[in-house]
């Protein structure tokens, strides 16, 4: 088993996940990049890391497939000293509730919320006996104040905030720290369909955020400097929610 600290980032191949992967690699972690199907983007992220002289590996699995998750994490824990888990993978299917299909609801809830159980449980079971670890959940301002057309997404992201706070209480005495980050409008391919010119007017800082600005908070929460912080929700939102 490698003694170098490892970090697993679900959805680590693109957007905010890519920025987090790159930043944690720079911080000295062996970065394990999870993705579901876009191997091209995952490989591109890995290449960015290795070209800079840092270590990384790809770990494809579907976070909604509990058997696949269990097998993948078991393999990771056999090889690596897992210090940090970042739960970043997520999807949106925006639609008014009256028009929302069961499939849209289920896919958003399963990917954004139910996956918490599948991914986090085996990691916590590993971290607690070691009395060390960081779990960082990427939620959203949508889970704090809700947005029209995002009933399912807001429900899932709000659920992550509740789960973060409850798990933080369960794990605090074992030095396993659990926190959430709630990004606002961040410029990624996931927000490409959002009308930025209109929505930016609702942001006090008058701009969308950058993935790197979320990654810097992940870096802090994973560091020794955040050793007395748990159960918190840190907004990276330009003031859109206070």
Report the CATH number at residue 195.
3.40.50.720
**Per-residue confidence (pLDDT) for residue 2, from 0 to 100:** 76
What is the strand order of the sheet 233-236 is part of? Answer: 56-60, 30-35, 5-10, 81-87, 133-138, 176-183, 233-236
Is 153 among the residues known to form the active site? yes
- 195's CB contacts (< 8 A; 6+ apart) are none
Q: Which domain holds residue 179?
A: 5-236
pLDDT-above-70 percentage for the chain = 98
Q: Is 194 helix (H, G, I), strand (E, B) or coil?
A: coil
Distance between CA 12 and CA 19 in Å, rounded? 8
60 belongs to a structural domain: yes
13 belongs to a structural domain: yes
**Per-residue confidence (pLDDT) for residue 196, from 0 to 100:** 73
Q: Mean pLDDT for each 10-residue chunk of the chain (242 residues)?
A: 90 96 98 96 97 97 97 97 96 94 97 97 97 98 93 98 98 98 89 73 94 98 98 97 94
242 belongs to a structural domain: no
232 belongs to a structural domain: yes
12 belongs to a structural domain: yes
Distance between CA 156 and CA 90 in Å, rounded? 10
> Which structure tokens are listed for 128?
């607690």
* pTM of the predicted structure, to 2 decimals: 0.95
CB atoms within 10 A of CB 125: 11
**Per-residue confidence (pLDDT) for residue 194, from 0 to 100:** 67
8 Å CB contact between 34 and 59: yes
**Per-residue confidence (pLDDT) for residue 191, from 0 to 100:** 61
pLDDT-above-90 percentage for the chain = 92
8 Å CB contact between 73 and 119: yes
Catalytic: which of 35, 153, 228, 241? 153
Tens of pLDDT along 168-222?
Answer: 999 999 999 999 999 999 998 766 656 777 889 999 999 999 999 999 999 999 9
Number of separate domains in the chain:
1
Q: How many residues would you count in the chain? A: 242
Phi, psi of 88 (to 5 degrees): -115, -25
> Which structure tokens are listed for 31?
């970065």
- Using DSSP bridges, classify how beta strands 56-60 and 233-236 pair: parallel, antiparallel or unpaired: unpaired
Distance between CA 171 and CA 239 in Å, rounded? 30
Using only the alpha carbons of the chain, give its radius of gyration.
17
241 belongs to a structural domain: no
């Amino acid at each position: 088993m490698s003694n170098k600290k490892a970090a697993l980032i679900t959805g680590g191949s693109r957007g905010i996940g890519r920025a987090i992967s790159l930043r944690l690699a720079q911080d000295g972690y062996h970065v394990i990049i999870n993705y579901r199907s876009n191997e091209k983007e995952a490989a591109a992220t890995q290449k960015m890391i290795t070209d800079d002289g840092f270590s990384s590996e790809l770990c494809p699995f579907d976070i909604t497939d509990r058997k696949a998750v269990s097998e993948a994490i078991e393999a990771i824990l056999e090889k690596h000293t897992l210090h940090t888990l970042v739960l970043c993978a997520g999807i949106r299917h925006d639609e008014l509730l009256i028009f929302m299909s069961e499939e849209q609801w289920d896919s958003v809830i399963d990917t954004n919320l139910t996956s918490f159980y599948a991914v986090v449980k085996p990691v916590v079971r590993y971290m607690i006996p070691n009395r060390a670890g960081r779990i960082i959940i990427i939620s959203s301002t949508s889970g704090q104040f809700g947005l029209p057309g995002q009933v399912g997404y807001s429900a899932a992201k709000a659920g992550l905030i509740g789960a973060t706070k409850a798990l933080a209480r369960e794990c605090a005495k074992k030095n396993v720290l659990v926190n959430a980050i709630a990004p606002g409008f961040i410029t990624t391919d996931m927000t490409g369909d959002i009308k930025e010119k209109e929505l930016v007017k609702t942001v006090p800082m008058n701009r969308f955020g950058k993935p790197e600005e979320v990654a810097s908070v992940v870096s802090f929460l994973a560091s020794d400097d955040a050793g007395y912080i748990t159960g918190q929700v840190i907004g990276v939102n330009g003031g859109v929610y206070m």
